[in-house]
Chain A
Amino acid sequence: MPAVQETIEQVKLLDVDKYKYGFITDVESDLAPKGLNEDIVRLISAKKGEPDWMLEWRLAAFRRWLTMEEPTWARVDYPKIDYQDLHYYAAPKLRATATSLDEIDPEILKTYAKLGIPLKEQEILAGIRKPDGGDVLEEAPGGEYASGRVAVDAVFDSVSVVTTFKKELAKAGVIFMPISEAIREYPDLVRKYLGTVVPASDNYFATLNSAVFSDGSFVYIPKGVRCPMELSTYFRINERNTGQFERTLVIADEGSYVSYLEGCTAPMRDENQLHAAVVELVALDDAEIKYSTVQNWYPGDPEGKGGVYNFVTKRGDCRGRNSKISWTQVETGSAITWKYPSCILRGDNSQGEFYSIAISNGRQQVDSGTKMIHLGKNTSSRIISKGIAAGRSDNTYRGLVSANRRASGARNFTQCDSLLIGDQCGAHTIPYIESKNASAVFEHEATTSKISDDQMFYCLQRGMSQEEAVALIVNGFVRDVLQKLPMEFMAETQRLIGISLEGSVG
């Protein structure tokens, strides 16, 4: 069909080489020597000024990692990673925990400004500079941020460079800080939860992360608190030949609520960069965590050279009764995305949700999905996954829904739809549905199609141009998921989808 042919052409022209975040920031870095051994683990731990128990934890993970083999079961294909050829620690030369933006290398601020993240906004900067910053935003002119305020933790290579709104958050009792700081300031809290959702021995990449994680965010929402603003982390890989291993731990205590956003970008480099993060969420009784990701790591050039390997372990534990964890992800970047944000529905009546848009183009490979593990009674989960494959990419949904013998009344609804644009790409659906309880009700449906001629014809005969028609249909295709994104990410996501599939979205 001509419209699709045109779309293919335009996608070809506009896709990955149009990566907008591929610049390199010229800051001096403090780099650990290449290679991985116990000394490096000790070095990282020392740099962070960690207590002994943390070092021991890391070393145990490292020793465990040495005995493990890299998994190969996923539908992704990449040359063997030389783990000794990476830097495991890179930090811009500045104080790792700046309390105000003045102390931050202007180059880094420029970087974040270029990325268009809220850090750059003057009102928000003011919010940081004022010693009693708490109320500044209500006074801020324009009102734009009075409602949609976001506290940001920006992670540059291995360290967190700045965290905004700390004071206002502290007023509400919310702890939001780099995890390296939390290990020092709230060791009991960290120790109680770290590794309880994703154990240090969980899988090859999670174990590696446990040994060498450098930074990440720590969030604790106390009992009954509804976090007054969205929390956000922005990850940026800058340095050459580094791996980024951040660790995020979010704990929502009884009856609390938090919405957490995560965004990622990296410069364009010819070599591949490894990103092996671990995210752990814990929701106690009646708590709710909403975790949204817009992942836009550098996807590599159109020939598949370079790009980020995004091998991330994300898991949420609905530990308490009536708790809820919701994952929303928009995956447009990375040469390879290989992750399954999961929910362990342990508490009775707990709920898990997974909403995903995964767009692959060029030579990108995506093997992503979720796991919903129903353990408690009357647990429910919902999976909506939209995969769009274009160019020469492969886009796989892989998911597990399981009901334990005791999970009576478990309920799951899964819908995964794939859209293929062009005849060089692949879309695959591999669901595993395992029921060990008769009262569990699982429903799964999946479709794969191209934009149908009927839909196109209908739009065209209503007077739309082909581009408009494709835009309308693709927007409709992902709408279910788009609606689940927090307002703060909506605009960015729409822009990203536009960039990733420009030509079809118009």
Chain B
Amino acid sequence: MAEATRIRTKAEEALANHFAALASDDAAAEIRNAAFDAFLEKGLPHRRVEDWKYTDLRALVRDVPAPAQPAAFDASRDALARADVFAPLAPARIVFVNGFFVPSLSDTKGIEGDVEFVSLNRFLADGGSFLSRSQLDASESPILALNGAFVRDGAALRIREDAKVARPLEIVSVFAGSEPGLQTMRHQVMVGKGAEVTILQTFSGPDGVAYHTNVVSEVQVEAQAVVRWIVAQEEGDCAIHLNLLVPRLADDVTFDPFTLASGSLVSRNEVRLSFDAEGSSASLRGATVAKGKQLIDNTLVVDHAVPNCASREQFNSAIDGEAHGVFQGKIIVRKHAQKTDGKMMSRALLLSEEAEFANKPELEIFADDVVCGHGATCGQIDEEMLFFLRSRGLDKREAERLLIQAFLSEVVAEIGDEAVAECLDERIRRALGAPASVTVGEAT
């Protein structure tokens, strides 16, 4: 086969070497091998692979570091101190450092009655298996394939039926140390019937270290459950971040994922959501702040396989410097998915001469009784709005910052939880270079 003889890139070679060096004695060895074979068959995705047209990993990923080792406690604690996006909410925390669960830094007090948690490591050791075997095929997703091959740990969570989890639950992933490493996590979350929960996911790491993060979260949401899934991605400025969220929704579920992406050199936030039963709704939203030479990619596949579901997709991106922003959103409405309601909007602000944005909102519709639409815009800050603020005495920089802030906050406000929104707004202000203490109100 032509593919088999393809010359591997340096990064693919490194991955093969790292994989060969992994101990193959764990229970999941068979799955690992199958996953890595699936990866090798296609290699790193490149621009001729339609889903990766704008995020050419073959060109962007030069090298892949060896799997990271667990960090020392002090280093872990210091690294964790920076991952404080949601600190005001005082969430319960499940902490991973370099991809390994660290019980001594975690805190699940007060939610034990509602949430069952074991680390994936334990879960697998006790004979549990990956959910993915019945969900997504590794050959369809290079992120999943690599994850399957290299995963060591993660969170296996079960939210009990009808539990109303009062304290938000945060899954924190930090990278510690000055040597690059590859951290790979797999989270498996079951949300029981009628449960309500807010799950936060935070990523943080040091600038200047070319570490890699690969995380796959599989979420099974049972009937009538209400889930907010909030991601704050603040990886270090040399990091490669690959994140795949695979939710499956039963009937009458509300599932609202949000992604704030401001960190990493290259990041791909991919959501593949499928409606498995009727009456559910999902709102997928995100705010992106990119600068320097960053590439931030938000890719969604929303699969309406059954009738009477609604989805909203709304992503706003502010791209500065020489950064690239990518939005790819695909709404699929299958043959019998009548009464589907889907609306997708992607808006981008280009803030500098070199900034680039690629928008690909797709509709793929096989049912007739549907209302689906998408919109996409791309442009710069409205001169008239700028003029208005400047005529009120703001300098240009401050006026621009306010407008960008307002543009991004518009999506954040849609989350519908003020406390969470406030945490995210604060981080957006920081990412835009405003002093942390200055709020919009005070600036005017």
Contact with A along B348-385 (1 / 0, CB 8 A): 10111111111111111111111111111111100000
**A121 interfacial contact with B, CB 8 Å:** no
Q: Chain A, 439-464, contact with B by CB distance < 8 Å: what is the 0/1 string?
A: 11111111111100000000000000
Contact indicator A435/B372 (Cβ below 8 Å): no
Expressed in whole angstroms, the Cα–Cα distance for A482 and B368 within the complex equals: 24
- The answer to whether A430 and B362 touch across the interface, beta carbons within 8 angstroms, is yes
Query: Is A73 at the interface (CB under 8 A from chain B)?
Result: yes
A443 close to B368 (CB less than 8 A) = no
Partner of B356, one of A422, A431, A436, A446: A436
B338 at the interface (CB under 8 A from A): yes
Of all chain A residues, the one with the shortest Cβ separation from B356 is A436
Taken residue by residue from 140 to 180, chain A's Cβ proximity to chain B (1 for < 8 Å, 0 otherwise) reads as 00000000000000000000000000000000000000000
**Within 8 Å of chain A (Cβ to Cβ): is B50?**
yes
Inter-subunit contact A450/B359 (CB<8 Å): no
Whether A231 is near chain B, meaning CB under 8 Å from some CB there, is: no
* Closest chain B CB from A144 CB (angstroms): 42
Residues from chain A with a CB closer than 8 A to the CB of B359 are: 431-435, 442, 444
For A394, give the chain B residue with the smallest CB separation.
Answer: B366
- A429 to B331: give the CA distance in the assembly, Å: 10
A442–B379 touching, CB < 8 Å: yes
For chain A, residues 48 to 75, give those with C-beta under 8 angstroms from any C-beta of chain B.
73
- A423 interface hit (Cβ, 8 Å): yes
- Chain B 314-339, CB-CB to A under 8 Å as 1, else 0, gives 00000000000000000000010010
Contact in complex: B378, A433 (CB < 8 Å): yes
| Inter-chain contact B50/A433, CB cutoff 8 Å | no
Contact between chains at A443 and B372 (CB < 8 Å)? no
Interface contact B370-A450, CB-CB below 8 Å:
yes
Cα separation A18 to B49 with both chains bound (whole Å): 41
Query: Which residues of B lie under 8 Å from residue A428 when comparing CB positions?
Result: 362-365
Known: A73-B50, A435-B350, A438-B351. A426 touches B378 (CB 8 A): no
Are A448 and B373 closer than 8 Å at their CB atoms?
yes
Report chain A residues within 8 Å CB of B380: 438-439, 441
Contact of B365 with A432 in the complex, beta carbons under 8 Å: no
B378 close to A446 (CB less than 8 A)? no
Chain A minimum-CB-distance residue to B336 = A423
Contacts of A435 in B (CB 8 A): 348, 350, 356-359, 378
Q: Please, how many angstroms separate the alpha-carbon atoms of A4 and B357 in the complex?
A: 41
Q: Is the CB of A442 within 8 A of B376?
A: yes
Given the known interface contacts A438-B352, A439-B380, A440-B379, the answer about A429 and B368 at a Cβ–Cβ threshold of 8 Å is no
A4 to B338, CA, bound (A): 14
Which residue from A436, A443, A448 sits with its C-beta under 8 Å from B370?
A448
The count of A-to-B residue pairs whose CB atoms sit within 8 angstroms is 114
If A418-B365, A432-B358, A448-B363 touch, whether A443 touches B377 (CB-CB below 8 Å) is yes
Q: Tell me if A427 counts as interface (CB < 8 A to partner B).
A: yes
Contact B350 A438, beta carbon cutoff 8 Å: yes
**Residues on the A chain within 8 Å of B351, using CB:** 438
Q: For chain B, what secondary structure do more than half of its interface residues adopt (helix, strand, loop), or is it mixed?
A: strand
By a CB distance below 8 angstroms, the chain A residues around B373 are 445-448
B371 touches A430 (CB 8 A): no
- CA of A430 to CA of B362 in the docked complex: distance in angstroms? 5
Cβ-defined contact, B368 with A425, below 8 A: yes
Chain B residue contacts of A436, Cβ below 8 A: 356
Whether B372 and A447, one on each chain, are in contact in the complex, defined by CB atoms closer than 8 angstroms, is yes
Residue A206 interfacial (CB < 8 Å):
no
Q: Which residues of A contact B366 (CB under 8 A)?
A: 425-426
Query: In this complex, what residue of B is CB-closest to A426?
Result: B366
Render A449-491 as a binary contact track against B, CB cut-off 8 A, 1 for contact.
1100000000000000000000000000000000000000000
Cα distance A427–B371 in the bound complex, in angstroms: 12
B65 to chain A, nearest CB (A): 32
| Minimal beta-carbon separation of B382 from chain A (angstroms) | 10
Contacts A440-B378, A449-B371 given; does A429 touch B363 at CB 8 Å: yes
The answer to whether B372 touches A449, judged by C-beta atoms less than 8 angstroms apart, is yes
B375 and A431 contacting across the interface, CB-CB below 8 Å: no
Which secondary structure characterizes the binding site on chain A? strand
Cross-chain contact A421 with B368 (CB below 8 angstroms)? yes
Check A91 for interface membership: any CB of B closer than 8 A: no
Given A420-B365, A420-B368, A423-B367, are A446 and B375 neighbors across the interface (CB < 8 Å)?
A: yes
Contacts of B352 in A (CB 8 A): 438
Q: Contacts A420-B368, A437-B350, A448-B370 known; A430 to B360 CB distance under 8 Å? A: yes
For residue A473, give the distance in angstroms from its CB to the closest CB of chain B.
14
Given contacts A423-B369, A425-B368, A449-B371, contact A444 B361 (CB under 8 A): yes
- Which residue of chain A has its CB nearest to the CB of B347? A443
Given A73-B50, A443-B377: A450 and B369 within 8 A (CB)?
yes
Chain A residues near B355: list those with CB within 8 A: 438
CA distance A166 to B436 in the complex (A): 76
State A422–B348 Cα separation when bound (angstroms): 36
A117 CA / B265 CA spacing, docked (Å):
61
CA distance A6 to B182 in the complex (A): 60
| Cα–Cα, bound, A59→B376 (Å) | 44
- For B371, the chain A residues whose CB sits under 8 A away are 447-449
User: What A residues does B50 contact at CB under 8 A?
Assistant: 73
The digit string for B68-107, where 1 denotes a CB below 8 A from any CB of A, is: 0000000000000000000000000000000000000000
Q: Which residues of A contact B376 (CB under 8 A)?
A: 431, 433, 442-445
Q: Mark B11-53, 1 if CB is under 8 A from A, else 0.
A: 0000000000000000000000000000000000000001000
Compute how far the CA of A427 lies from the CA of B369 in the bound complex, rounded to whole angstroms.
12
Residue of A nearest to B319 (CB): A438
- Chain A residue at minimal CB-CB distance from B373: A447
> In the complex, A448 Cα to B374 Cα: how many Å?
9
Residues of B contacting A432 in the complex (Cβ-Cβ under 8 angstroms): 358-360
Residues of A within 8 A of B360 (CB): 430-433
Bound-complex Cα distance A437 to B373 (A): 26
In Å, the complex CA distance between A440 and B364 comes to: 28
Of the candidates B335, B364, B365, the one having the most CB atoms from chain A within 10 angstroms of its own CB is: B365
Q: In the bound complex, do residue B377 and residue A444 qualify as a contact, i.e. CB atoms below 8 Å apart? A: yes
Complex contact A429–B362 (CB within 8 A): yes
Bound-state CA distance A422–B338 (Å) is 11
Measured between beta carbons, the chain A residues less than 8 angstroms from B369 are 423, 450
The docked-state distance in angstroms from the alpha carbon of A443 to that of B371 is: 20
Query: Nearest-CB distance from A308 to chain B (Å)?
Result: 25
What's the Cα separation between A426 and B364 when bound, in Å?
8
- Give the distance to chain A from B295, nearest Cβ to Cβ, in Å: 14
Nearest Cβ on chain A to B381's Cβ, whole angstroms: 9
Task: Say yes or no: A446 contacts B361, CB within 8 Å.
Answer: yes
A423-B363 contact given A433-B378, A446-B373, A450-B368, CB 8 Å threshold: no
Residues of B within 8 A of A418 (CB): 363, 365
Measured CB to CB, the nearest residue on chain A to B48 is A73
In the complex, are the beta carbons of A429 and B374 less than 8 A apart?
A: yes
Looking at the assembled complex, report how far the CB atom of B85 sits from the nearest CB atom of chain A, in whole angstroms: 29
Provide the bound-state CA to CA distance between A442 and B358, in Å.
11
CA distance A329 to B50 in the complex (A): 28
Distance (whole angstroms) from the CB of A441 to the closest CB of chain B? 4
Instruction: Pick the contact of A448: B354, B357, B372, B378 (CB < 8 A).
Output: B372
Inside 8 A of B374's CB, which chain A residues have their CB? 429, 444-446
The answer to whether B365 touches A448, judged by C-beta atoms less than 8 angstroms apart, is: yes
Contacts of A447 in B (CB 8 A): 371-373
Residues of B within 8 A of A405 (CB): 353-354
Alpha-carbon distance A437/B358, docked complex (angstroms): 11
Chain A, residues 228-248, CB within 8 Å of chain B (1/0): the string is 000000000000000000000
Can you identify 15 A-B contacts, CB atoms within 8 angstroms?
A: A423-B368, A426-B364, A429-B363, A431-B362, A433-B358, A434-B356, A434-B357, A435-B357, A440-B350, A441-B379, A441-B380, A445-B373, A445-B374, A446-B374, A449-B372
7 new A-B contacts, CB < 8 A, other than A432-B359, A443-B375, A446-B363, are A423-B368, A426-B366, A428-B365, A435-B378, A438-B380, A440-B379, A446-B374
Q: A-contacting residues of B (Cβ < 8 Å)?
A: 50, 335, 338, 348, 350-380
The 6 closest A-B pairs by CB, nearest first: A438-B350, A420-B368, A433-B359, A441-B379, A447-B373, A444-B376
Which of A's residues lie within 8 Å of B, judged by CB?
A: 4, 73, 405, 418, 420-423, 425-450
